[in-house]
Amino acid sequence: MKPPDEPLIRRALGAEILRRRKALGLLQRQVWERAGLAKNVYLRLERAERNALVHQLIAVAIGLDTTAGELLGGALDRIARGDVPSAGDEWRAAFGVE
């Protein structure tokens, strides 16, 4: 089995970040402030518009009261289930991105 491609991983991780945020009832602003990230950095991660650097992933995990391992594990589970949104408008519609 070959590893998933980069865009698929990025979309799965963004979906997992969004799922966790919504499960906690947090606004995007609350997460980026708790994480200590710039607004545009956090938004681009949640929307799967950029790859997460390790320190950014750790910061997001802290902002979401979880671990980077949990977020990555959730993303990999999504890939295994085939539960990864496609890019663009389908992503926003499927996951209600603000």
Assign residue 22 the CATH number of its domain: 1.10.260.40
Query: Is pLDDT at 30 greater than 90 in this prediction?
Result: yes
Specify the pTM.
0.87
CA distance 25 to 72: 20
Residue 97 lies in a domain: no
Q: List the one residue out of 62, 71, 64, 69 whose CA is nearest residue 24.
A: 64
pLDDT at residue 91, rounded to an integer: 56
Residue 96 belongs to some domain of the structure? no
Range of the domain at 54: 6-84
Residue 94 within a domain: no
Residues 90 and 63: their CA atoms lie apart, in Å, by: 26
61: CB partners within 8 A, 6+ apart: 67, 68, 70, 71
Chain center to CA of 26: 14
pLDDT at residue 46 tops 80:
yes
Please check whether residue 91 lies inside any domain of the structure: no
pLDDT of residue 1: 64
Q: Residue 80 has what pLDDT? A: 93
Helix (H, G, I), strand (E, B) or coil at 82: coil
Domains identified in the chain, total number: 1
